[in-house]
Structure formats: structure tokens, C-alpha cells
């Protein structure tokens, strides 16, 4: 499975404090509140911020549905699958 892992660096500069940005990003199930490109999103596997939860979402920037698993709390590592 390790051969299927792709790491895509992402950087975006916000004019907000680190605590404000972290409050938004760390809400695994709350991205719809601030990410306008989100078309749809569902969380499977329990509470929206529970380790092991899977977020399935689509964006107006692609025709794909992505799946991301929350592997650790406070440190976000995602496993992406193209469905």
C-alpha cells in the first residue's frame, strides 16, 4: 500500500493568527464552514473529529470524490483515494 501514497505539499498564506487558522483546519468535519469550493462532504466512522473518521468530499475544482482519513488528533495526516 505504501507505493500508493502521494504527498502533495500545500501552502497558502492567510492574514490570521495561527490559533485562528488552526481552529478552522482542525475541525475535520467543519470545512464546509469556510471552504467555498466544497460541493459536498460527509463524515463516516463516528464523530466528525474522531480519529478513524473518513471525510468524503467533492470540490468544484475537480470531478473526483476524495476520501481522507483522520489518522491522528492535532497532527493531520491524510490518506487520499480517488473514487
Segment 16-73, tens digit of pLDDT: 887 787 788 788 888 888 888 889 999 988 777 888 888 888 988 888 888 888 877 7
The whole-number pLDDT of residue 77 equals 55
Phi–psi pair at 59, nearest 5 degrees: -125, 155
Strand order in the sheet with 38-44: 38-44, 54-59, 65-69, 81-82
Give the range of the structural domain holding residue 23, as residue numbers without chain letter: 2-82
Band of the pLDDT at 81, cuts 50, 70, 90?
Answer: very low
The whole-number pLDDT of residue 53 equals 86
Q: What is the DSSP secondary structure assignment for residue 23, as one 8-state letter?
A: H
pTM attached to this predicted model: 0.62
- In angstroms, how far is CA 1 from the centroid of its own chain? 20
Structural domains counted in the chain = 1
Amino acid at each position: 500500500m505504501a507505493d500508493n501514497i502521494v504527498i502533495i505539499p500545500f501552502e497558502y498564506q492567510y492574514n490570521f493568527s495561527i490559533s485562528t487558522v488552526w481552529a478552522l483546519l482542525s475541525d475535520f468535519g467543519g470545512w464546509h464552514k469556510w471552504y467555498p469550493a466544497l460541493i459536498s462532504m460527509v463524515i463516516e466512522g463516528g464523530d466528525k473529529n474522531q480519529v478513524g473518521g473518513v471525510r468524503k468530499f467533492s470540490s468544484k475544482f475537480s470531478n473526483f470524490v476524495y476520501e481522507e482519513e483522520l489518522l491522528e488528533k492535532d497532527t493531520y495526516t491524510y490518506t487520499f483515494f480517488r473514487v
